[in-house]
């Protein structure tokens, strides 16, 4: 099953772009907005292994991947919970680039939640072929 891109994290293209949202316009400097880009890539477990072991500095002792929403009832998982998780992941990057602003981060979280609430939104994220996962690694430095 494939999902459509729900929220653009690039300088802002389309109606769902957080950065081009009319509420944010005027808060964010246009030059900073135009230079902002978060390339997202979600590697498979095999790729993570190959990258770490191929680089040669570390040996993988143990790797665990967990879907943070696995086993939770639908009533507990929703657009707001996922929006807050996305905010937690990206907040330091956004603050580093644009500066600290509760107004920007609050609008970011509300825009993500609004977009996840429309259509199949958050359910599509959870039903994706490769769902969101937390990755925990135990590594040993190779000398």
For residue 7, the model assigns a pLDDT of: 40
| E strand or H helix at 99 | none
How far apart are alpha carbons 40 and 28 in whole angstroms?
A: 22
Q: Is residue 80 part of a domain?
A: yes
The pLDDT assigned to 77 comes to 76
What are the start-end ranges of the H helices in the chain?
30-34, 45-55, 79-98, 102-117, 121-127
pLDDT at res. 57: 94
What does pLDDT average to in each consecutive run of 10 residues of the chain (143 residues)? 40 54 63 78 82 91 80 74 84 87 83 76 67 79 87
Residue 65 included in any domain:
yes
33 lies in some domain: no
Where does residue 119 rank: exposed (0-12), middle (13-18), buried (19+ CB within 10 A)?
A: exposed
pTM, two decimals, is: 0.57
Position 58 scores a pLDDT of 92
pLDDT for position 68: 74
Asked whether residue 76 is domain-assigned, the answer is: yes
Structural domain containing residue 70: 43-141
Structural domains in the chain (count): 1
């Amino acid at each position: 099953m494939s999902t459509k891109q729900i929220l653009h994290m690039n300088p802002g293209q389309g109606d769902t772009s957080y950065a081009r949202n009319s509420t944010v316009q005027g808060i964010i400097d246009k030059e900073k907005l135009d230079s902002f880009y978060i390339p997202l890539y979600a590697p498979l477990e095999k790729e993570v292994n190959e990258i770490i072991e191929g680089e040669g500095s570390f040996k993988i002792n143990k790797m665990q991947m967990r879907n943070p929403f696995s086993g939770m009832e639908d009533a507990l998982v929703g657009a707001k919970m996922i929006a807050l998780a996305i905010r937690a992941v990206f907040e330091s990057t956004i603050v580093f680039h644009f500066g600290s602003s509760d107004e920007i981060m609050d609008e970011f979280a509300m825009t993500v939640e609004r977009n996840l609430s429309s259509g199949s939104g958050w359910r599509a994220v959870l039903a994706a072929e490769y769902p969101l996962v937390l990755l925990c690694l135990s590594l040993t430095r190779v000398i």
